[in-house]
Amino acid sequence: MKTLCRIMVSLYPPAWRRRYQREFLDLLGDMPSSTYREVWDVLRGAFRAWADTMWRSEYGVEFTVALVIFITGIVNAGLSVTGGDGVWRSSAFFLVTAMGTTLACGVTGFLAARRRASVLRSASGGLMLALSALMIPAVVLMAVAYAFESAAAPMPFDQFPFKNGPLIGPVLLRFTEEFKHSKEWFAHWGRSVGLSFMAALIAGTLMAWLGGCAQLVLRRLLGRRG
Amino acid sequence: MTATERISDPTLLVLTSLAEGEKHGYAIMTDVEQFAGVKLGPGTLYGAIQRLEERNLIEPVESADRRQPYRLTRNGELYLREQLNLLRAVTRLGLSRLEAL
C-alpha cells in the first residue's frame, strides 16, 4: 500500500510536488503501515490539490465552465443509458439538457470575461479545458461505437470457418455470439454517451464564448456612455 | 481573517497540535490521534498544511533532520486563540441550554 501511495504522489500538481513531495514521502516512510484508507486519502488529496490549483489559477472560471459541461455530459449520458427507450433518450430531452448547459455556460462565460480584457483569451481557456476534459473520451467512444456498429452484422453459421471442427467450431461460434452481443451493446450505448458528451461540449463552449462576447459588448457600451 | 470565518476541522487540529511547539508531519499525525482520536490521512494532513502555510498561519522551520518541522506564526497563534474562544463560547452556550432542558 505504501508503494501505491508513493506512486500516487505523482498525481499531485507539479507546483505542489516541488514544494511538498520530499517531505510527503518522508511522512509516508515514517508511517508504520498504510491501508486502502490512506491510499484513498492520498487520491482525494491529489484531487483537491488540483481543484485548488485550477480554481485559484488564471483559468479558474474556465475550469468551472469545463466542470459544468463535464457534469452535464455525465448526467445526460447516465440518463440516456439507464433510461431505456423512453423520454430520456428522446431528442426533446437532449434539447432541454443542451439548453440548460448552454445557459449555465453562458453565465459562466459572462462572469469569466468580467475579469479579463480579452474575451478571446477567456473563451480559449475554457475551450482548452473543455476539450481536454471531454473531447478525447467522447471521440473515442463514438469512434468505437461506429466501428462496432458497422461490423455488427451477424455471420451466418453455415459460412462460419471451421464449423465442422471437433472443438474449434463451437468455441469460436460461442465467442463470436458473445462478441456480437457486446458489439451491439457498445454500438447502442457508446454512441449515445459519446453524443451526450459532444452535445454538452459544443453547446457549452459556444455559449461560453457568446457570454464572454456579451460581456465585452456591454462593457464597451457602458464605457462609451461613461 | 475574522473569528467568524469557518475553519475546517483538520486545519484546526493541526494548529492545536502545533500550539505545543514545532512538529513534523508524522508527529502532528500521532499527536492529533492522541488528543482528538482523529486519524488524519497523509493527503488530508498535507492539504491542511498547505492551506495553513498559504494563509501564513504556520511556517516551516529550518532543520538538519530529513523531516520538515512546522511551527505556528504570530498570525496562527492569534487565529487559533480566536477560534478556540469562539468554540468555548459555543460549548458553554450549548451546555447551558442542555442543562435547562
Distance between CA A187 and CA B75 in Å, rounded?
60
pLDDT of residue B29: 92
Shortest CA gap A72–chain B (Å): 28
Question: How does pLDDT run across B12-66, given as a tens digit for each residue?
Answer: 999 999 999 999 999 999 999 898 888 888 999 999 999 899 899 999 998 887 7
Q: Which three cell numbers stand for residue B20?
A: 505545543
Distance between CA A7 and CA A47 in Å, rounded?
15
Complex prediction ipTM = 0.81
Q: Which three cell numbers stand for residue A77?
A: 449520458
pLDDT of residue B18: 95
pLDDT of residue A144: 64
DSSP for chain A, written as a single string = -HHHHHHHGGGS-HHHHHHHHHHHHHHHHHSS---HHHHHHHHHHHHHHHHHHHHHSTTHHHHHHHHHHHHHHHHHHHHHHHSTTSGGGSHHHHHHHHHHHHHHHHHHHHHHHHT-S-HHHHHHHHHHHHIIIIIHHHHHHHHHHHHHHHT-PPPPGGGSTTTTSSSHHHHHHHHHHHHHHHHHHHHHHHHHHHHHHHHHHHHHHHHHHHHHHHHHHHHHHHHHH-
CB contact under 8 A, B43 and A37: no
Question: How does pLDDT run across A186-200, given as a tens digit for each residue?
Answer: 666 666 666 666 666
Distance between CA B56 and CA A108 in Å, rounded?
31
What CATH number was assigned to the domain covering residues B10-99?
1.10.10.10
Residue B60: beta bridge partners? B70
Say yes or no: B25 contacts chain A, CB-CB below 8 A.
Answer: yes
More confident residue, A202 or A16: A16
Q: Does the structure show a pLDDT above 90 at A29?
A: no
> In chain A, which residues have their Cβ closer than 8 Å to the Cβ of B61?
none
Average pLDDT over chain A, rounded to whole?
65
Q: Does the structure show a pLDDT above 70 at A154?
A: no
Question: Rounded to the nearest 10 degrees, how much is the dihedral formed by the CA atoms of B90, B94, B100, B101?
Answer: 160
Considering A7-16, A18-27, B85-94, the range whose residues carry the highest mean pLDDT is: B85-94
Q: Report how many Cβ contacts below 8 Å link chain A to chain B.
A: 63
> In chain A, which residues have their Cβ closer than 8 Å to the Cβ of B24?
23, 26-27
Q: Which amino acid is at A167?
A: L
CB contact under 8 A, A27 and B25: yes
Distance between CA A123 and CA A72 in Å, rounded?
19
Distance between CA A166 and CA A142 in Å, rounded?
39
B47: closest CA among A67, A32, A14, A24? A24
More confident residue, B71 or A103: B71
Residue indicated by cell numbers 502545533: B18
Considering A24-28, A59-63, A101-105, B53-57, the range whose residues carry the highest mean pLDDT is: B53-57
Question: How does pLDDT run across A30-46, given as a tens digit for each residue?
Answer: 888 778 888 888 888 88
Q: Summarize the confidence of residues A2-27 as an average pLDDT.
A: 84
CB contact under 8 A, A27 and B47: no
Q: With beta carbons less than 8 A apart as the criterion, state whether A201 and A134 touch.
A: yes
> In chain B, which residues have their Cβ closer than 8 Å to the Cβ of A20?
46, 49-50
Stretch among A112-126, A161-175, B42-56 having the lowest mean pLDDT: A161-175
The ranges assigned to domains in chain B are 10-99
Q: Summarize the confidence of residues A124-143 as an average pLDDT.
A: 58
CB contact under 8 A, A27 and B29: yes
Q: With beta carbons less than 8 A apart as the criterion, state whether B32 and B82 touch.
A: no
pLDDT of residue A160: 44
CB contact under 8 A, A24 and B26: no
CB contact under 8 A, A38 and B44: no
The pTM (predicted TM-score) of the whole model is: 0.56
Shortest CA gap A89–chain B (Å): 41
Which A residues 13-32 touch B at CB under 8 Å?
Answer: 16, 19-20, 22-24, 26-28, 30-31
Say yes or no: B63 contacts chain A, CB-CB below 8 A.
Answer: no
Q: Does the structure show a pLDDT above 60 at A112?
A: yes
More confident residue, A101 or B50: B50
